[in-house]
Amino acid sequence: MKIAVLHFVHETVTFLANETTLDDFIYEGSPAKGEALLGIDPKSYMGGFVKVAREHADVELVGIESPLQPKTGIGSGWITREAFEFFVGRMVEQLKAEGPFDGVYLALHGAMGVTGIPRPEAEIARRVRQAVGASAFIAATFDPHGNEDEAFLQAADLAFTVKYYPHYDAYLQGTRAARNLIRCIRGDLKPTHASRKVPLISPTVLQWTGSAAWMSLINRALTWEAREPDVYVNVFFGFPWSDVPDAGMFVQVTTHDDPTLAAEVLADMVGTIWRQKDVLLSSADIVSIPAAIGAAAQACEQGAFPVVIADHSDRSGYATWVLDEIIRQELSDTVVATVADASALDRVQSAGLAVGDTFEAAIGGRVDPSAGEAVSVVGKVLHVPQLRAKDAGRLPFVTVGFGRNNVVVISRYLTQIMEPSELAGFGIELGRYKVFAIKSRVHFRLGFDDSGFAKKIVIAEPDEPFLGTTRLQGLGYRNLDLSSFYPYRRDASF
Ligand SMILES: [Zn+2]
C-alpha cells in the first residue's frame, strides 16, 4: 500500500498588504521531502498520521516535496500565484513520477488565500486527483479556522478537522486520517458525506472552545461520534480575516455508506449552531486598550497577578497600542511580547548593540493603520540572541528593558506567544514580572489560562475597527458579501 504525503498550509490574512511570496516558503528545512517531511511536527497532524500509518506493516509512505509554514508565519497576506503554482506543480510532477499511489494524505490548514484561486485547498485536491487517478483515495486534515465548502470533498474522500481551539487534537485527527485512509484503500470504509454552509461569521477571538457556548457545540459533535460507529463531524469555525468566497462556518459529516445518517447528523449540527448563534457570538468580553491597562494595574494592586493582556487584533505584529498605553499609564513589572519591527532590528544589528548598551528608538507601528504610531522606547538592551542558520544572517529579535522593570521584545515577524515558557527564549525570567502583554486571540489559553498560570486575563482591541477587529463591518470585503452572514444579515431565518 503506497501513500503519498503532502503538506501545504497557511492562514492568510488577505487584508495585510505584504504578499506571501515564493521566497517566504524557502528557507533552511523548507521545502521538505522524504523522512524530513514525515518528521515535522511529531505532536501534530503529521506525527499522528505517520504514527498510525506505520503501525501497518504493508504501508509505504512517500514524503513529496512540500513547503513548510512561510517565514512570515501568519503575518502575511495573499499567497502569490507564483508560489502556489511552483509548489503544487512540483508536487504533481513527483506524484506522476513516483506513482501509482493507493492513497494520498494532504496535511492542510484550510485558510489559505491565493491570488486568482478562490478555493486553494480544493484546487490542490483536484490537481492531486488528476495526478493519482480516480481509484486512489485522498484524505486531508484541517484546522478549524479553515474556510471550506462543498468543493473540497468533491475531489477528495476524507477530511478530519481539529475540534478544539486551542488546537489540542491535531495529533488525534492525524491518526484518524491515517486509519481511515488505510481502511478506504482496503475496502473497509465507504465514505459518504453531507455538508452545509452555515451563514454565520465570527471573529476568531470569540471561538474559544473553553467558553460554554463553543464547548457545548464541540461536545455535540463528539457525542455524535461517540454514539455512532464511523460518524465523523467537522465543524469549520472559519477565518474571517481571509476575504474569500468560502469564509464562514461550515459543517461536514462523514459516515460509512449511510447518507441518511449523514444528513440527520448534519441537520442536528447546523440547527444547533443556528439556535445558539447569539451565545456563540457573545463568548468573550473585549475591552478598550486603556481599560485593559487600567484593569491590569488594579489587579496588580490587589495582588491578583500574573495578569495577561491579550491584544487579539494585531495582525501585522507591529501594533503599538498596548505598549503606548503601558508607557502612558506608567505600568511597571510588565513584559510586552512582542512588537515587530524588522528595520529596528537591522539598525540594532548594524550598530552592533550588546547587552547593557543603551537602546533608544521609535519602534513598531506605521506598516498599516491597525499598527498605530511608532512608540519611542528608551532603555537598555537585556538580551541579544546568537544567530542560527534559519535566521539567514538577520537578527530575529532583541529584548529591551525600560521604565520601572518593563521589558519589550522587538521581533522580526508577528509573534504569537502561547506558553509562558516561550518567554525564556527571549531571555525573560517569568518570576520578575507581574503583567504579560501578548498578541494572541485564543491560542495563549493553552499555556496562560488552561494551565492556571494567569490570575487575570484581559482581552483588548483598539477603538477603531481596524484589521483584526471584532467589528467585521469595518473590513473592506470584496469576495464575500458580509450582509449574507449573521450577525450582519437582516433575515434571521436559515
Ligand atoms: Zn487555527
125 exposed, middle or buried (CB, 10 Å; 0-12, 13-18, 19+)? buried
The CB density around residue 398, as the number of other CB atoms within 10 Å, is 26
* Spans in the chain with pLDDT lower than 50: none
Spans of all domains in the chain: 2-280, 289-473
Q: Read off the C-alpha cell for 130.
A: 488528476
| pTM, entire model | 0.89
**Residues 6 or more apart whose Cβ sits within 8 Å of residue 46:** 5, 7, 37, 38, 39, 40, 107, 174
- Residue 189's pLDDT is 98
Q: Give the distance (Å) from ligand 1 centre to CA of residue 440.
A: 11
Q: Give the distance (Å) from ligand 1 centre to CA of residue 187.
A: 32
Handedness of CA 377, 416, 247, 280 (dihedral sign): negative
- Residue 389's pLDDT is 86
Q: Give the distance (Å) from ligand 1 centre to CA of residue 424.
A: 24
User: Quick one: three-class SS letters along 339-359?
Assistant: EECHHHHHHHHHHCCCCCCEE
Which residue type does 359 have?
Answer: F
Q: Give the distance (Å) from ligand 1 centre to CA of residue 167.
A: 7
Asked if residues 355 and 382 have their Cβ atoms less than 8 Å apart, the reply is yes
Question: Judging by DSSP bridges, how do beta strands 307-311 and 435-438 pair with one another?
Answer: parallel
Q: Give the distance (Å) from ligand 1 centre to CA of residue 165.
A: 7
Q: Give the distance (Å) from ligand 1 centre to CA of residue 115.
A: 21
Give the whole-angstrom CA distance, residue 249 versus residue 235. Answer: 7
Give the whole-angstrom CA distance, residue 476 versus residue 478. Answer: 6
201 exposed, middle or buried (CB, 10 Å; 0-12, 13-18, 19+)? buried
Q: Which residues surround ligand 1, an ion (CB under 5 A)?
A: 143, 145
Which residue type does 68 have?
Answer: L
Q: Give the distance (Å) from ligand 1 centre to CA of residue 468.
A: 15
Q: Give the distance (Å) from ligand 1 centre to CA of residue 144.
A: 6
Q: Give the distance (Å) from ligand 1 centre to CA of residue 1.
A: 32
Asked if residues 441 and 314 have their Cβ atoms less than 8 Å apart, the reply is no
- Residue 492's pLDDT is 73
